[in-house]
Chains A and B, each alone.
Chain A
Amino acid sequence: MRISAVFEKEFRDLVSSKRLIVILVAFVLSYVIAIGGYVVMFSEVGAPMPKNIIGMVLGSLVGYLSLVASVIGIALGFDAVSGEHEKGTLRMVLAQPIFRDEFIVGKFLAAVAAISLAVSVATAASVSSAVVMLGITLSEQDVVKVALVVALSILLALAYYSLSVLCSTVFKKSSTSALISIALLIVFFIVLPVLSTVIARAVVGPPPKIRFRPGMVRQDLAKLREYRAKFSSVREAVLSLSLNHHFNRLAGFIAGYRRAAPVDMMLADALARNATSLVILAVVTLVALAASFIIFTRSELK
């Protein structure tokens, strides 16, 4: 009853919030513009439509969603608790016969619902635009791919949401919470990919110089492959700290999976190769939410 009251109010506030609407409109517009670029390239320039155009469409969707889902999570979470502190509404609400756990759970559930709705609607609008503009038809497998990418985007958004809520619970000021949440996004999205290359280069050293001499090509190629494997493993180790990397790996794998393969095979393959990424996204979300819950329910209003 009380949880549902909080859920209802929070959900209404979240889905009607200007910041969410601005983010979604910006996402759909920028995606449509990107698809428009393909249309211009294929129709006016006369370049042939590639066979895996749907793979390109889904690939770019994953790229966009990686950023947009993260931003949505932060936008909805950074002032979830601190904002209520600052406005004095937390005092007003907790003066009513409601427990703190009911209040925070109501907020979490509302965020899950709002994020799911926002990501689904925005993706549906974007993909529909792409289908119409490019004149393509989606197979059953393509629809499943889009649905899986949406589900993973929701998970990524929830991971960022939970981290932002944690910041919002620990730091009583929304400005501090927003700064730290954005800093996390910059680290995950920009710093770690750059840093991973720098670190890999520093650890593994420069690539081997290949001298093309008769009879030596195969050995040189083996050296190069070994170097690349070492480089990639170091880079992967650094990137494994990034939530966006795990999303990109998993969602990118699904988006790029060969067409006409059975859906169950695709799912099994995706899980077999990227289960760790899925677990990390889920665990980060749950741990951050649990930490926020514990801190919030144990804190006191002075």
Chain B
Amino acid sequence: MEEVIVTEELTKVYGRGASRVVAVDRANLVVRRGSVHGIVGPNGAGKTTLISMLVGLTVPTSGTGRVLGHDIVRESREIRERVGLLPEGYGFYDDMTARENLAYIAKLNGLEGGEASERIREVLEVVGLSDAADKKVKGFSRGMKQRLGIAQALLKDPEILILDEPTMGLDPGAVREFRGLVRELVREGKTIVMCTHLLREIGELFTDATVMVGGRIVAQGALSELRDRVLGGALTYAVEVKSSVDEGLLDELRELEGVVEVRAEGSVIRVVASSGVGEALLRRLLDAGVGIRRYAERELSIEEIYEHFSGGGAE
């Protein structure tokens, strides 16, 4: 698949001497066209600095990068013409309506007149703000402002959408709406890059991920590749049983072919296996007369992948 963002040894250092901080350390980022690429890491990991360099808001200290074939330093305007960005900590002109704010941003993107009006109408509809188009932004909720933020990023019909902490401060309903909107944009063929430390909210959307810790990229790739790297493509099982299970039975489960790890957590038995062992697992438990309340088979989640590579927990 075509690579739309590529960086080589991209580094950003702030300050000098004792106050020197390496915000991004030799980052080699690769984003594939059509992917939903999550850049994950704790606060201060360097995610925002990394994407700021991609669109020319911050100048790299060293290293290079290209976005859609454009150099990130010399051709930042061309990049911003083709990339929609929802920056962290963004704001709108509160005394202007949603439509007026978008009209200003449209002009900054070279859109005017009927073309701009039509595009504004379209993006307001996409984000579900048509009814509030002529209301002043100062009366908007956080969720509405966030939708307006996405609308401004979509105005130029970008090939890549970069969203920095897009669900920060949103209530669960707004997060659900946001996920639906992202899925819709993916269907339209957009490449989406999202920075977040709130994996539970949007991690399920990612097809690819980059894990950043302390300014460094510690892992990146398609989620399937990352899962393989964590446990060789392992599957995890959770079986909730009605009665307690003795250590002898757990040892028998450990001896099943493909099982890597078995541990009991209260009434739940968790099994990690390198291949499908679900049927064998259930049969062995039932043969031993253990009642089963619930059974779940799943792949490693993005949170687990993140925890593995970062050595810490996500929020």
Closest residue on chain A to residue B149 by CB atoms? A92
Q: Is the CB of B90 within 8 A of A301?
A: no
Q: Is the CB of A88 within 8 A of B90?
A: yes
Closest residue on chain A to residue B86 by CB atoms? A95
Q: Is the CB of B77 within 8 A of A94?
A: no
Q: Is the CB of A92 within 8 A of B90?
A: yes
Q: Is the interface of B mostly helix, strand, loop or mixed?
A: mixed
Q: How far is the CB of B72 from chain A (nearest CB, A)?
A: 14
Q: Is the CB of A87 within 8 A of B94?
A: yes
Interface residues in A268-302 by Cβ distance below 8 A to B read 300-302
Alpha-carbon gap, A62 to B230, bound state (A): 77
Answer whether residue A137 sits at the interface, using C-beta atoms and an 8 A cutoff. Answer: no
Query: Which B residues are CB-close (under 8 A) to A9?
Result: 104
Q: Is the CB of B91 within 8 A of A91?
A: yes
Bin chain A's interface residue count. 20 to 34
Partner of B110, one of A1, A87, A302: A1
Interface size of B by CB at 8 A reads 33
Return the CB mask of B41-81 against A: 1 if under 8 Å, else 0.
Answer: 00000001100100101110000000000000000011011
Q: Is the CB of A5 within 8 A of B108?
A: yes
Query: Which B residues are CB-close (under 8 A) to A97?
Result: 77-78, 80-81, 108-110
Answer whether residue B89 sits at the interface, using C-beta atoms and an 8 A cutoff. Answer: yes
Alpha-carbon gap, A302 to B88, bound state (A): 10
Alpha-carbon gap, A300 to B93, bound state (A): 21
Answer whether residue B231 sits at the interface, using C-beta atoms and an 8 A cutoff. Answer: no
Answer whether residue A33 sits at the interface, using C-beta atoms and an 8 A cutoff. Answer: no
Partner of A96, one of B86, B88, B92, B105: B105
A–B complex contacts, Cβ < 8 Å, 6 sampled: A5-B107, A13-B95, A87-B94, A89-B93, A92-B87, A95-B57
* Chain A residues with a Cβ under 8 A of chain B: 1-2, 5-6, 8-9, 13, 87-89, 91-99, 300-302
* Chain B residues with a Cβ under 8 A of chain A: 14, 23, 48-49, 52, 55, 57-59, 77-78, 80-81, 85-95, 104-105, 107-110, 149, 152-153
